[in-house]
Chain A
C-alpha cells in the first residue's frame, strides 16, 4: 500500500519543501519567483561538489550535498536580495523571475552542468528522508510562527510603515526572510536532484516557480501547515483523478485549474484557514482597574527636555507644510497640538517621529537627531505613536497587534524556541502578560482575540494606543486619537491620557476636539499655515485673541463639528506673511476648525 504510493508521497514532501521557500517570503508579504533559480544553482553546484555516494555512503554524501546546496541557495538569495529588497509587490516578483530565467539560460550554456542533456545523479533520497526534511522545515516555520521574529514578519506583511514605527528594522527582516527562502529552495533543489536521477536546467523554469507559488498560496501563506496542505492537495488531484478513471489528457489540467480557482475564490486564507487559530490571553491577578504596564524604561526626570526643535520646516514641491517651527517639550508634559486642517500638524509629528525627514531645521528627540536616524532607531529611543488613519495590522488579532507593538520591549525568542529553551517560554509569557496589561489599560481586554479589522472604529483607536504603549515609550505621540469617538468615549480617553502622564510618560497629541484638549493638556501649541500661531497653557490659549479670532472664533462649547459643517471655509492661499504670528489676524477667514474643503495649499499631511 505505502510502497505503491511511495513516489507520490515523496513528491508531496518535496513539493511542500519548495512551497515553504515561497511561504518564507509570503509570510512577510513579499512575492518572489526567484526560488526556482536558487534551487537550480543549489542543485547543480551540490551535485558537482559533493562526494560520490558510492565512495562515502548515501547519507554522508546527501548531507554534504544538502549543506552545500543550502549555503549556495542562501548566498544567491543574499546576493540577489541586497539590491532588490527595496522593490515591492509585483516588481520584486518580476525582478526575481528575471533572475530565475537568467540562471536557467546561463546554466544551459555551461559545460559543467551538461547543458541541455543535464547531469545524471544517483538516487539517494528515500521516502523517509524526504519526509524528514519536510517535517524539519515545517518545524522551523512552526516555531517561527509565534516568536517575536515571526510576528514582526507578519506585521511587515500587514502594514510596512506601521511595522517600522513599531521599531522593526524592515529591511533586515525582509532580507532575512529572503535568505531563508533561498536556503529552503536550495534544500529542495538538492533533494529533487538526488531523487529524480537526472537534472536539467529546464526543470527549474518559470513553470516550476509558478507551481511553487500556487502550492504555497493554495495551502495558505499565513499558517505553517499551509505549504504541506497545498502540496498534498496539488499532488493528490491527479492521483484521485486517475483513481476515479479520468484519463483524457485535458481534463486533468482543467480540473486542477478549476479547483485552484474555487479555493482562491472561496477560501481567502488558503486551505490552512480551515484550521482555527488559537489565541491565548493570560489571566491577570485580581481585577486591577488600572494595571501597571510593567515598563522597565527609565523616563527622564520631570522637566528635562524630551523634544527640542529649532527652525523645523518641511516643503512639498514649493508648498510649506511646516515652516520654521521651534518646539520644546519637557518630560511629564501633556502637549496638545491643535490647528485647522492642513495646518501641518501631522507633518510636524511625522518629522518628530522620524517618518519624514525635514527640509530644513534641526530637532533632537530623546537624544536622537531627527532626519538622519531610521524610524526604528527613533522608536528604540522611546518614541511611540498612533496614526491619524488607523494603521493596525488588519488580519492579526488585537492581542497580536499589541505583541508586535512590544517588539523592542521584548526579547527575541525564535532561536531559543527552536530548541525549546524554557527561557524562551518565560519571555513569551512575559510578553503576553505585558500585552494583556496594555489591552486592559485601554479597556479592550475582552476583545483580545478579535481581528483588528473587525473592531469598531473607537476600539481600533484604542487598540492603536495599546499597541503604542506596548513599546514602553517615554514619548507617546497620538494623532487624533478621539476622532470618531462620542463624548463619553472621548472623556474616557482624556482620563486615560492623564493617567499615563501620571505614570511619567510625556504625551504629544493632535486633536480637533478642542474641549477635550483644553481639559487634558498641560500646554497647547496652535499651528496654522505650518507656523506656530500661539503656545501656552489651556487658559492662555482659550483667552488668546489671535487664536480666538483665527481658530476658536465660531466655537461655542464643544460644538465644533456643527460649526464646521455650517461654515463656508474660504481660506486664502498661504500668504507667508511676515507679521508677528501671534498678533497677526486674517480677516477673511471664517473661524472654523474643520473647513469642508481641505484643499488649502498646506493640506499635504502624509498619513
Chain B
C-alpha cells in the first residue's frame, strides 16, 4: 500500500510532465525536446524563489507556472515558428529544440554551478497522514492534488473554450483551421506556453518530492516522458495521465521486487511492446494520413 501511494505520487508528476509533452505533439505534430530543460530550469527557479524571495513552496508554484509559460513562448518563437514551412520541419524542430535545451542548461550552469541544490531547511510542512496503514506526507497529497487540478483545468480548456476549439481544429488540419479564421500562430504560441507551464510545475513538484534539483534532471525524465506518451497514445491527454501513473507504479514496484538496476528496463520493455503491438498507444486514435 505504501508503495502504491508512492507510485501514485511520482506517477502524477510523470503524468503532468508527459501531458505537456503530448499536448504539443498531439496538436502541432512536433516533438519539443526543450520540454525537459524547462522541467529542470523551473526546479532551480522554484528553489531560488523560496530561498531568495522567501516565498513558501506553495506560493512559488503559480510563479513557476508563469515562468514556464514565458519559456514556452520563447521556445516557440525561436525554435519552431521560423521553421514551420520547411519540408523537414519535423527534424529541424527536433534539432532546434535540442539546441535551445542545451542553451537553457548552460545558463543554469552559469547561474547555479554544477552542484545539486536543495530547498532551504524548514521549507516543508512535517504533516503526515495515516491512510490504511501507510504513511502519506502532506507534500505527496499536494503533489497529487495540484497535478489533478491542472489536468482537469487543461481538459476544460481543450474541450470547452474557444482556444481549445482552435487547438483541436489545428490538430485536425492546420491549413483548414487557418482558412476558417483560426489564428494559427496565436493558438500555437498558447499551446507551447501551456505545455511548458505544465512541464515547469512538474519540475518544481519533482524537486519538492525528492528535495533536489540537478542539471541532469531533465534528461533523466525525458525518456520517461517519451515512454509515457507512447504508452498512453501520442497526443492523447487521458492516455498520458494513465501512462504516467502506470510508469510511476511500475517503477516503484520494480524497485521493490526486481531490484533498482532493472527499473528502466521495465519502462522501456513496456514501451517497446506497446509500439509493436499497438503503435497508436493505449488510448490513441489511429491517425490515418491520407495519401
Contacts and interface: CB of A to CB of B under 8 A. Distances in A.
B261 A257 contact: no
A250 B106 contact: yes
A250 B272 contact: no
A510 B265 CA distance: 54
B107 A265 contact: no
Among B79, B100, B102, B222, residue most surrounded by chain A Cβ atoms (within 10 Å): B102
B105 A253 contact: yes
Contact of A256 (B100, B102, B222, B264): B102
Nearest to A255: B106
B265 A87 contact: no
Interface stretch (B83-91, B130-138, B187-195): B83-91
Contact of B268 (A26, A105, A217): A105
A254 interface: yes
A498 interface: no
B106 A98 contact: no
Given A84-B276, A206-B222, A251 B106 contact: yes
A99 B268 CA distance: 7
Given A206-B219, A214-B98, A261-B100, A105 B264 contact: yes
A264 B95 contact: yes
Interface residues of B, number: 47
Interface in B90-134: 90-92, 94-96, 98-103, 105-107, 109-110, 114
A249 interface: yes
Nearest to A254: B106
Interface string B249-289: 00000000000011011001101100110010000000000
Contacts, number: 130
Contacts of A101: 223, 264, 268
A551 to B, nearest CB: 27
Interface in A390-423: 394-395
A101 to B, nearest CB: 5
A606 B264 contact: no
Contacts of B88: 268
B82 interface: yes
Interface stretch (B38-46, B155-163, B166-174, B226-234): B226-234
B271 A98 contact: yes
Nearest to B109: A250
B226 A217 contact: no
B291 A260 contact: no
B142 interface: no
A260 B91 contact: no
Contact of B95 (A90, A105, A214, A355): A214
B176 interface: no
Nearest to B114: A249
Given A90-B25, A606-B291, A260 B268 contact: no
B31 interface: yes
Contacts of A251: 106, 110
Contact of A207 (B79, B99, B219, B227): B219
B87 A394 contact: yes
B222 A258 contact: no
A95 B272 contact: yes
Contacts of B145: none
Interface residues of A, number: 50
A307 interface: no
Interface in B61-99: 78-79, 82-83, 86-88, 90-92, 94-96, 98-99
Given A99-B272, A250-B107, A254-B103, A109 B262 contact: yes
B150 to A, nearest CB: 25
A566 interface: no
Nearest to B277: A83
Contacts of B261: 105, 108-109
Nearest to B79: A261
A251 B103 CA distance: 9
A108 B90 CA distance: 32
Among A94, A249, A264, residue most surrounded by chain B Cβ atoms (within 10 Å): A264
Nearest to B291: A161
B279 A254 contact: no
B227 A98 contact: yes
B264 to A, nearest CB: 5
22 contacts: A26-B91, A31-B90, A90-B25, A90-B31, A91-B234, A102-B268, A102-B272, A105-B261, A105-B262, A105-B265, A109-B262, A206-B222, A254-B102, A254-B110, A257-B101, A258-B103, A265-B82, A265-B83, A268-B88, A355-B291, A395-B87, A606-B290
Given A214-B95, A217-B92, A250-B107, 6 more contacts: A87-B275, A89-B90, A95-B271, A218-B95, A254-B103, A265-B83
